[in-house]
Amino acid sequence: MCGIAGIVSTRMGRPPAEAEVRSMVDCLRHRGPDGEGVYVEPGVALGHARLSVIDLAGGAQPLANEDLSVWVSFNGEIFNYLELTRMLKKAGHRFSTHTDTEVIVHLYEEYGVDFVSHLNGQFAIALWDGKERRLILARDHVGIRPLFFCVTGGRIYFASEVKGLLACPEIARALDPLALTEIFTYWAPLGDKTPFAGIRSLQPGYAAIFSEDGRESQFCYWDWRFPAQECQDRRLLSECVEGLDDILMRAVQHQAQADVPVGAYVSGGLDSAMVLAYLRRFQEGPLRTFSLRFDRPEFDEGGYQKQVVERFGTDHTEVMVGAAEIGGHFSEAVWHTESPILRTAPVPMMLLAAKVRDAGVKVIMTGEGADETLAGYDLFREAAVRRFWARQPDSRMRPALLARLYPYLKDSPVTSRAYAEKFFGQDLSGSGAPGFGHWPRWQTTRRMLNYLAGDLRASAARDYRAVPVAMLPPGHERWAPLHLDQYVEAHTLLSGYLLSSQGDRMALAHGVETRVPFLDHRVVEYANGLPHRYKLMGLREKFILKELGRRMLPPDICSRPKQPYRAPDSGSFFHGGKADERVAAAFDRRNLLEVGYFDVEPVVKLFEKCRRGKAIGFADNMAFVGIYSALLWHEHFMATGAGQVTRMPAAVHVV
């Protein structure tokens, strides 16, 4: 995995200099600590920071075709590169390396801008066509790897992280108010927005073309699609299980390719255990695995992790994390995410990646994506209960099913039946609307908007339920309700938060590449085509995956209740009734007034409430973490001069 950056000028723009792109690459060294490269020609400067995984000796970038007319700077992995190489050689293309990167330039020669539809991988690509004088940016199917760009002053700037763009003095720094309100509702900005005004994120499954005269065009080459609900799929469960087994095995086999050791994360849950089971088939000898442990039983899954490790005989490392470590490294995590976040969960993932790198492992397999593709979240079960209840809204029996949700939570929203019925019973009349399954989560999250300063709060005055639904494609009206919920999940939380703030950014903070077989686009397509009853069978989540898992995993792993990955939140920043030094400075009234994002008095009251250990449930914890992360984001990225990028902050000491 790597970091890419570059500048391309239009006819009206100033030609870029080598020093400019080198300063951009310098900001991405944590992503690619093994080397760097720059290519410059009139009007074009491409840069690359390399994490060497395939063809360690010959994979330097930027890389060109035979006549040097096509250049590419590439972040990611192309998992079908061996098949593509054989096909392209038969077509007459000559290869000078054994790297997957070279496949891209030859595919482009063969297919033009349609080259991206032939790729299976996780990638962010910048390709320069010197003959046509055009820049092509492309991002993988589901958004595993990030790619940001900004068009200003007759130039197109792009980089794997916003830090690379901010190294350029011409790029203005300002908050996008609408993006902040979307983070405080959906957990991430929607579409191509970022928290930075004028800086855009290329959307998953998209490619963008920039011509020399400044014109921009984009096209979607892939998206999540589902069969019409009325289509009769009479496949037996056993047939579908066999199909899932085959496609998952091939995905893991493809993603196990590397010229360096490949390890795996073990969470204690079904998804990572399944990935490890397949990986064991393809990796002989010692296999390194890594797990997070927590000093609070509410979050810890050590017992289940032990069962998985013993089953597959791995060389295992545990990383124990407590509240002090989370609070002390939170600022560093925000620097890497480049966005306000609503949970502390990214921090332990960043600390785990540091241990992985210390162990000499560069590539890690994870189980991320199974919940999105195979309906594993409680959100999907919750929506099923609410839709069932909506058919008879006066029923006293149907809402009782809510008690089967969230068994892992100490302060579960269903502990009190009266509260559960009041909260989850809202808006039942809208049960047929797209996005219905997400409304309770969005309702809870958007309470944070009450802490915003008046002008920012005003920008949120729109129907929050309708906005994501506008992203749904033609024909969605014929999908099953579960599939509508899955689509919205994939286009809000998955790429914007989970794959970014908890995935790519935390692993590559320490030069570790994560691979996610459940998000191989072929696996996603297969899962999307399954009868929805095999994914959510009554209230049994990921039913088909559990059926498959019983063949190869310890029984407890398949029968245990779903427990999402979580970490301690607001309590991580207070110790003995005292706030950590950096926290106290951030929430000081003078700083709040200077930053200007928040209504000072309500925020100070929240701070005191959390300091006294009186935070109540999700709402208070999310509000505190969201506000604090926004203040840190401002400190890291808004409070510095043009062209200056703050270095990674040191961990804070507890006072």
pLDDT at residue 407, as a whole number: 64
Strand partners of residue 124: 75, 139
| Cβ neighbours of 45 (radius 10 Å) | 25
At 655 the pLDDT is: 36
Q: What is the pLDDT of residue 654?
A: 42
| pLDDT for the residue numbered 238 | 97
Contact in structure between 118 and 107 (CB atoms under 8 Å) = yes
DSSP-derived secondary structure letter, 494: I
Strands 206-211 and 216-220: antiparallel
Across the 655 residues of the chain, what is the mean pLDDT of every consecutive 10-residue run?
92 93 95 91 95 71 94 96 96 92 97 98 97 97 98 97 97 96 96 97 98 94 94 91 98 92 95 97 90 90 94 96 95 97 97 96 96 94 89 80 69 63 77 90 93 90 86 94 96 95 96 97 98 94 97 93 82 92 96 97 96 86 97 94 73 49
- DSSP annotation string for 319-338: EEE-HHHHHHHHHHHHHHHT
Domains of the chain in sequence order: 2-175+198-220 (3.60.20.10), 225-449+472-563 (3.40.50.620)
The first and second tokens of residue 112, run together, are: 């033009």
pLDDT score, position 420: 66
Single-letter amino acid code for the residue at 533: R
Classify each residue of 151-177 as buried b or exposed e, where b means 16 or more C-beta atoms within 10 Å of its C-beta. beeebbbbbbbbbbbbbbebbebebbb
Q: Give helix 237-255 / helix 270-282 axis angle, nearest 10°.
A: 60
CA 651 to chain centre: 24
The pLDDT value recorded for residue 233 is 87
Distance CA 399, CA 221 (A): 42
Contact indicator for 122, 521 with CB cutoff of 8 Å: no
Strand ranges, E, within 266-329 = 288-294, 315-321
3-state secondary structure string across 230-284: CCCCCCCHHHHHHHHHHHHHHHHHHHCCCCCCEEEECCCCHHHHHHHHHHHHHCC
Give the helix/strand (H/E) hosting 129.
Answer: strand 121-129
Cβ-based neighbour number of residue 505 at 10 Å: 27
Q: Model's pTM, two decimal places?
A: 0.95
